A and B are shown apart, each in its own frame.
Chain A
């Protein structure tokens, strides 16, 4: 049963610390998305990649956030330094050439 895998599921960290979230897309999917979900803003698209190349990261705060795909099986979202306002659930999703998007279970980030 193919699925998008995200780690960690939960992360609590102190303000100022670096946070790295990881995503393993479904094998064969060539598009990977990072979304952030909060009560206030709903689902926000942070960035997405196609064939490992960043296509759009306009939704991401550039000064502290970075997203990469070092290879086709791994996408990372890094926050450095983290702030309390970054607390949210971060979802990774992947999509193949002729499929809808499949979402991971999310990483719940709490910055204290």
Chain B
């Protein structure tokens, strides 16, 4: 069965500090990996994706994520957090371009304190 795990319900970080939001996956094939962000009362917004190639993927708003095949992880990172980054972050996996089903993690609430 395919699954995505976000082990932390909540991550707290001070503004200006680096942040990491963790994601691990379990799939039977080559995964396409995604990060989405959800602000209050809004839909999910695409941040970045990994399909193939360089393991370090850069996305919107200064975020990046590193694909690690041996650890089956795709952690989201940012060198310097902003208060405005506070939101709910979802990791998702899809099995290749011909497969449409996205599997989402449970979400991690990021709190950035001034």
Interaction A to B: yes
The range of chain A's interface size is 20 to 34
> Which residues 14-51 in B have Cβ within 8 Å of A in the complex?
34, 36, 41-46, 49
Q: Is B97 an interface residue (CB 8 A)?
A: yes
Would you call B49 and A105 a contact (CB within 8 A)? no
B70 touches A (CB below 8 Å): no
User: CB of B3 within 8 A of chain A?
Assistant: no
Main secondary structure of the interface of A (DSSP, over half): strand
Once the chains bind, are A102 and B107 in contact (CB under 8 Å)? Answer: no
| Complex Cα gap A101–B44 (Å) | 9
Instruction: Decide if A102 touches B104 in the complex (CB within 8 Å).
Output: no
**What are the residues of chain B within 8 A of A50 when measuring CB–CB?**
100
B residues less than 8 Å from A102 (CB atoms): 46
Q: B residues engaging A (CB < 8 A)?
A: 34, 36, 41-46, 49, 90, 97, 100-102, 104-107
